[in-house]
Amino acid sequence: MKHPWKVFAGLTLAALMLPAAALAEKDDVQRQVEQPVQQAIQIRRDTQQAEAAWRADRERMTAAYEQLQQEQARLEAQEKALAESVAAARDRVAAKQAQLDAIAQITDRVTPFLHLLRARLAQRIEQDLPFLTAERQQRLARLDALLDDPAVAVSEKLRKVFEALLVEAEYGNTIEVYQETVTVDGQPLLADIFRLGRLGLYYQRLDRQAGGFYNVARDTWEPLDKAANRALTTAIAIGTKRQPVEILDMPLGRLAQP
């Protein structure tokens, strides 16, 4: 027969174990219920995060795509502009080449003409009255150097040749007084030279006591009589603007060699 206190202890222990077992079973059931809910919530959260990330990626890719489209449109416009620029440049090159060809043809024709004009100018100076000889020869020398220089444009050569022709032409419409050494009776003489256009060339000594003229027919300087020398003094005064213009009687001699 068991002792009463042992029976009581067993009953007490059983009574204490029953609530603990019930609580353990309740916790187990609660965990079984809560775990799927938490998993579902976590899945939902993960899904929402994935959807947010996907939307962000889509927006980013859409923006990148639109940017690429804009860049493509810009490049196409740039390519079109470059193509038009290249076409225009080719047209300009073709026009310039045609212009260069025309210039080459003109140069081939103008260059011999310029040399011919220069030769005629030199001949004219040689046959002309002997005034400003050094100046005119220097002008011819500069013209020769210019015509022989391939670096000078044909337009500049043409301008200089016509400039020289114009200077020579102006000599026929002007009077001039300058000093120069001439040879009279085989002796050098520093004198005032009076040029009357291309009609006459005269000299007068610096003391105004005697003068002469250039005889084209004889190609020499010849003296003037006293009356003509007085007229020459007046002509020199007119040429230097020291006296008003007046009509003078000046000997011309022959205008050309026989």
List pLDDT tens digits, range 42-52.
888 888 888 88
Mean pLDDT of the residues in the chain: 85
pLDDT band at 182 (very low <50, low <70, confident <90, very high): very high
245 pLDDT band, cuts 50/70/90, is confident
Q: Which residues pair with 176 in a beta bridge?
A: 195
181 confidence band (pLDDT: 50, 70, 90): very high
Structure-model confidence comparison of residues 15 and 184, the more confident one: 184
> Does the pLDDT value for residue 53 go beyond 50?
yes
pLDDT given at position 180: 93
pLDDT of residue 237: 93
Answer for the pair 157, 114: CB distance below 8 angstroms, yes or no. yes
Indicate if the pLDDT at residue 177 is higher than 90. Answer: yes
Quote the pLDDT of residue 18: 53
User: Would you say residue 17 has pLDDT above 60?
Assistant: no
Look at residue 258 in the predicted model and tell me its pLDDT.
Answer: 45
pLDDT score recorded for residue 14: 52
Average pLDDT over residues 223-233: 90
The mean pLDDT value for 200-205 works out to: 94
The residues pairing with 183 across neighbouring beta strands, listed in sequence order, are 188
Q: What pLDDT score was predicted for residue 243?
A: 86
Q: State the average pLDDT over residues 194-217.
A: 92
Share of residues in the chain with pLDDT > 70 (%): 85
Confidence (pLDDT) at 23: 60
Beta strands in the chain (DSSP E): 175-184, 187-196, 200-205, 211-215, 220-223
For residue 21, the model assigns a pLDDT of 60
Question: Quick one: tokens of 10?
Answer: 């067993």
Cβ neighbours of 222 (radius 10 Å): 14
Helix (H) or strand (E) holding 3: none
Instruction: Please state which of the ranges 33-37, 49-53, 82-86, 94-98 shows the lowest mean pLDDT.
Output: 33-37
Distance of CA 189 to the CA centre of its chain: 54
pLDDT at position 216 is 87
Nearest to 195 by CA among 240, 136, 141, 245: 240
pLDDT at 99: 83
pLDDT at 257 > cutoff 50 = no
Mean pLDDT value across residues 146-166: 92
The listed range with the strongest mean pLDDT (50-59, 167-176, 240-249) is: 167-176
